[in-house]
Each structure stands twice: as C-alpha cells, then as structure tokens.
C-alpha cells in the first residue's frame, strides 16, 4: 500500500466518513475528488472518472452547470439566509412550493421543507403521528416498511430502513416500526411463481401483518418506487396496485419515498407515475436541486394539512421545523433545476437513453460473476454471486463488491457496492450515448478483473 499523501493524511486524521470500514480506511485513505464537469469528475492527480452514481443518486444535471451556479450566487447576494419559523417567509421558498404543487403527481396542498431525505422521512412519521392524534386515533401509530428498504439514517428514518447494517449496534429499530417482505423476485419469489402471483403473495403478507398487529394500530406504509440502496430492486408487475388496495382496506396512509426516484430517474418526473400508484404524501430530496445545495421536502395532502391545522389550533403550535428548511439559496437553486428539467426536457432525454442503458445492463447477466442485472430507467444494479446456478452469495468477509468498486475506480469509473455485493449505477440524466457505452465498457473490464481475482483466491469454491 503506497503511503498516503499529505491531503489524504489530513483527511484520515480529521474526518469520520459514512458507510465505510473505518479501520480499513485508515490504511487505504480517501479518493479525493477535486473538480467535475458533465458526467466526469477528476481526482487530485488529474485522473478522470465517469461518475456512474451521480454522486449519491443525486447530481441529475451533472457537474458544473453554470445556470445553477449563477442562480446560487445571485440569490446569495440578494438574501443569503432566511428561515420559515414563526410566520417568516421569502419568495424563493414560496415559488418553489408553488412549482412543486404544480408538477406533483397527486393533489398536494402544502410543502414542508427540510434538508435531507432522512429529515423528510423523519418528518413524514411525525406528521402521521400528529395526524392520528388530531383524528382521535392515539393507538394508530405503527409504521410498516420493507426488508432491504432504505429511508435514511436518523433515528426514525433508520428504523424505517430495512438493512441490518444501518441498525446493528445503534440499538435500532425503535419499537413500532415493522418490515414486510422485500419485493425482489430474484431472492424472494418461489420457484415457478409469476410476477403477478408474487405481487399477490406480497400484498397478502402485508394484509396479514396489518391484521396481526391490529389495523387500529397501523398508521402508514412507506415505500420507494424502485428500492435504491437496498440493491436497485424493481417490484413485480401489479405490486403497487395490490399494495395500495391493502392500504385502502385498512385506512393505512401511503408514503412515497421519492428521494432517489423523483425528478426523472425512472423516465417520469416521479417514480410513482412510472409504477402507476397514487400515494398520499411524498418525500423529495437529492435531484430536486441536482444536489448542488441541500434541500428536501414533504409534499402534504389537504386532509393531512387540515388535521395539522386543527391540532395546532388545539395545542397552540405546530412545533416542528429545521433552521435551514427552505433556505433561500437552496430553494432558488432547486427552482432553477426544475426549470431546467422542464425546459430542456431532461426527463424525456433520460427516458430516451434508458433503452440503451438497460440493454447494456441486461447483457451483464451473461457474466460469470453476475447473478442478476436489473434496473429501470437510468438506474441499475448488478448482484454478484459465487454460484450463478444456486444464487449463492459470497461471504461478506470477502468484500467482493468492494473489490469490484476498486477495480472500477482503476478503470476510471465510480460505482458503489451495497446490500450484499450489488454494484449500483445511477448516472446523471444528461449522460450521452457514447458515455453510456464507455461506462459499461469500463464496468465490464472491472468485473473481468474481479473474476480473475476471485478465481485466484478460489472464492467461488467456498
């Protein structure tokens, strides 16, 4: 292992990095990114990488968009900070909320702003609890999520998350947070079970869970249209149709987590439009500003807003909010990003690029290491396995996914490994046809190098 550079040493000695083995990281050090343009970022040595994860599922408009830069600068000169507490407001937040209501896939009454997807989903839970207190249903508080779901890492959001690594030794999940079956056919469908039969069974299992807990105690169900950090899991056909029917049957509020899928990722402005369901409320973040500045929100229906009104009238205050919620610079940038999505037909461009992306992704199913390559729109996951026939995974200690990520970086490609050796792809929506091909050419070489390494280590024989 080469010695760390001065900048890398300073990083190791000053930062705690998320989602990494901190002990190993002290030896390997960081990949320090210095600049970016379009779909490409450059490290401190000047090496170029295709950013195939759009950062963390978020830089939909790519890097170096001058319109967003100038919008931020202009807003900062005009009004560098303002808050929304105690009746204060500003035009950027008002105009952004108006635009979000305009483009919402379901009727929305109000928008509550916060700073991250975790805060949005935390707020969703608090709002549902507040709603049911206002409606005189103090027992209706349990929230159902799904195994392999990812909804964030704050205490409540991490309780919604269905990935053990986000809960282990954090004393999570909290009580009252339940998880039903993951809608991943590759791992959870029965032999010979059709997509529709699988969806029917999943809906039946959700129904049984609600009945077992007591419908008068279950407040909400939360779902990502396509599950992201859980391994890019596309639900089976008719899944949401059947799930929504169960929610309606038991008066369960349906929360749509659009933090990854929103703003064009699946080929429609919102993921629920692509998968044909109509939620009650929606969490948004990430691509709302193309990640140029932190901003997130909860899109609230009229029935919930009326309950918030009544309860705050009764107790005297709606005491929830964040200092930077609706920050004027973030709001202005998000408003400009949405303008660009619409004006430049970015969603349609991404949808047009999706068939090429998905064809190159599907071709990886032939690779000896790949158990399943799956995706929708411009998002993809490649699940690496030790045995294709039995679907046997590699032992976690081998960190095969992490090794593939390292080989990809050597090839000039940034990808991510999640949820048991699943390599994820989520490029900026502005990616061109030649860049898509180059992305998959580099990824294929990285998988070949991973296979050579795994063969030398005899990992597939264990």
Residue 429 CB neighbours (<10 A):
29
Task: Evaluate whether 56 touches 286 at the Cβ level (below 8 Å).
Answer: yes
| CATH class as words, domain 67-343 | alpha beta
φ/ψ (deg, to 5) at 299: -95, 115
What does each C-alpha distance from 14 to 11, 17, 19, 31, 44 come to in angstroms? 5, 10, 16, 15, 18
Burial readout 317-350 (b: 16 or more C-beta within 10 A, e: otherwise): eeeebbebbbbbbbbbbbbbbbebbeeeebbebb
Number of H helices, E strands in the chain: 16, 15
Q: What is the pLDDT of residue 1?
A: 62
Instruction: From 169, 175, 139, select the one nearest 156 (Cα to Cα).
Output: 175
State the Cα–Cα distance between residues 30 and 234, nearest whole angstrom: 32
Averaged pLDDT, groups of 10, the chain, 462 residues long: 81 90 88 97 97 98 98 98 97 98 98 98 98 96 98 97 92 96 97 97 98 98 98 98 98 98 98 98 98 98 95 93 98 98 98 98 97 98 96 94 97 95 98 98 98 89 46
Strands 422-425 and 416-418: antiparallel
Q: What is the pLDDT of residue 419?
A: 87
Domain definitions of the chain by residue range: 31-64+345-461, 67-343
Architecture of domain 31-64+345-461: Alpha-Beta Complex (3.90)
- DSSP bridge pairs for 375: 380
Say what the pTM is. 0.95
State the Cα–Cα distance between residues 348 and 279, nearest whole angstrom: 23
State the Cα–Cα distance between residues 462 and 459, nearest whole angstrom: 6
State the Cα–Cα distance between residues 356 and 335, nearest whole angstrom: 30
State the Cα–Cα distance between residues 244 and 254, nearest whole angstrom: 8
Q: What is the pLDDT of residue 461?
A: 46
């Amino acid at each position: 292992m080469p010695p760390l550079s001065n900048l890398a040493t300073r990083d190791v000695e000053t930062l705690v990095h998320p989602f990494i083995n901190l002990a190993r990281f002290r030896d390997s050090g960081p990949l320090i990114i210095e600049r970016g343009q379009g779909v490409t970022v450059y490290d401190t040595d000047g090496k170029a990488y295709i950013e195939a994860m759009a950062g963390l599922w978020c830089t939909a408009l790519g890097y170096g968009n001058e319109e967003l830069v100038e919008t931020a600068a202009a807003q900062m000169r005009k009004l560098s900070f303002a808050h929304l507490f105690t009746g204060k407001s500003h035009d950027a937040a008002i105009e952004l909320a108006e635009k979000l209501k305009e483009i919402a896939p379901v009727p929305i009454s109000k928008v509550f702003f916060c700073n991250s997807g975790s805060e949005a989903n935390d707020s969703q839970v608090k709002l549902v609890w507040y709603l049911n207190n206002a409606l005189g249903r103090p027992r209706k508080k349990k929230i159902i999520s799904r195994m392999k779901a990812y909804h964030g890492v704050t205490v409540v959001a991490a309780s919604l998350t269905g990935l053990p690594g986000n809960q282990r030794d954090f004393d999570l999940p909290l009580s009252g947070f339940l998880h039903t079956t993951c809608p991943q056919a590759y791992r959870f469908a029965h032999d010979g079970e059709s997509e529709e039969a699988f969806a029917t069974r999943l809906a039946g299992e959700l129904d049984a869970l609600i009945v077992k807990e007591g419908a008068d105690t279950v407040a909400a169900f939360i779902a990502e249209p396509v599950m992201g950090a859980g391994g890019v899991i596309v639900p089976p056909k008719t899944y949401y149709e059947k799930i929504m029917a169960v929610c309606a049957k038991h008066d369960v509020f349906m929360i749509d987590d659009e933090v990854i899928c929103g703003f064009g990722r699946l080929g429609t402005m919102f993921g629920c439009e692509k998968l044909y369901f109509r939620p009650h409320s929606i969490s948004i973040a990430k691509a709302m500003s193309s990640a140029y500045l932190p901003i997130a929100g909860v899109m609230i229906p009229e029935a919930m807003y009326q309950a918030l009104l009544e309860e705050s009238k009764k107790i005297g205050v709606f005491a929830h909010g964040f200092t930077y919620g609706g920050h004027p610079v973030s709001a202005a940038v998000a408003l400009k990003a949405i303008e660009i999505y619409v004006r430049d037909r970015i969603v349609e461009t991404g949808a047009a690029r999706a068939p090429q992306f998905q064809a190159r992704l599907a071709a990886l199913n032939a690779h000896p290491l790949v158990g399943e390559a799956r995706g929708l729109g411009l998002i993809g996951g490649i699940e690496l396995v030790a045995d294709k026939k039995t679907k046997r995974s590699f032992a976690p200690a081998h960190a095969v996914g992490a090794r593939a990520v390292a080989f990809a970086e050597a090839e000039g490609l940034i990808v991510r490994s999640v949820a048991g050796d699943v390599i994820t792809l989520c490029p900026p929506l502005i990616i061109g046809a030649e860049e898509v091909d180059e992305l998959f050419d580099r990824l294929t070489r990285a998988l070949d190098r991973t296979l050579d390494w795994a063969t030398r280590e005899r990992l597939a024989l264990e």
